[in-house]
Amino acid sequence: MKTSSSTSSSPRLSAYLAALLASVSMLALSPVQAAAPIDRSTLQAAEGGYVLADGRTLNLRVLSRSVEVNMNEESVERWRAESESVLISPDRRHRLHLHRSSNGTVDRVSLESPRGL
């Protein structure tokens, strides 16, 4: 008696789907690695005033859970520290990069904005 190809491939397909389902399940259940804690003292060393490449002034003040950013003496915004060298704006559209010298002090900052802004 001849078996059809769909019947003979069915156990292989079932085994493949079972393996795929198991690997996806393990991926979904695996713990997500937490980001490394941010060294607040390194951030606090960056407090102060800076001048951006376009001439705007910027003042930074480190708080317990955020960093206050004041640009051109306008309103103060609370930015989130992604790392000791990158701050994220409240709307998550801008990044402020803290460029450090060889001794670890911030010697300049740069603002990354989406194109068209």
Give the number of C-alpha atoms closer than 13 A to the C-alpha of residue 83, restricted to the C-beta side. 9
Residue 74 in this model has a pLDDT that exceeds 90: no
* CA–CA gap between residue 74 and residue 68 (Å, rounded): 12
Q: What is the structure's pLDDT at 15?
A: 77
Q: What is the structure's pLDDT at 2?
A: 46
Q: What is the structure's pLDDT at 96?
A: 94
Residue 32 in this model has a pLDDT that exceeds 70: no
The whole model's pTM is what? 0.65
Residue 27 in this model has a pLDDT that exceeds 90: no
* CA–CA gap between residue 94 and residue 26 (Å, rounded): 35
* CA–CA gap between residue 83 and residue 46 (Å, rounded): 12
Residue 38 pLDDT level (bands cut at 50, 70, 90): confident
- Mean pLDDT of the region 10-39: 67
Q: What is the structure's pLDDT at 35?
A: 56
Of the candidate ranges 8-12, 63-67, 103-107, the one whose mean pLDDT is the lowest: 8-12
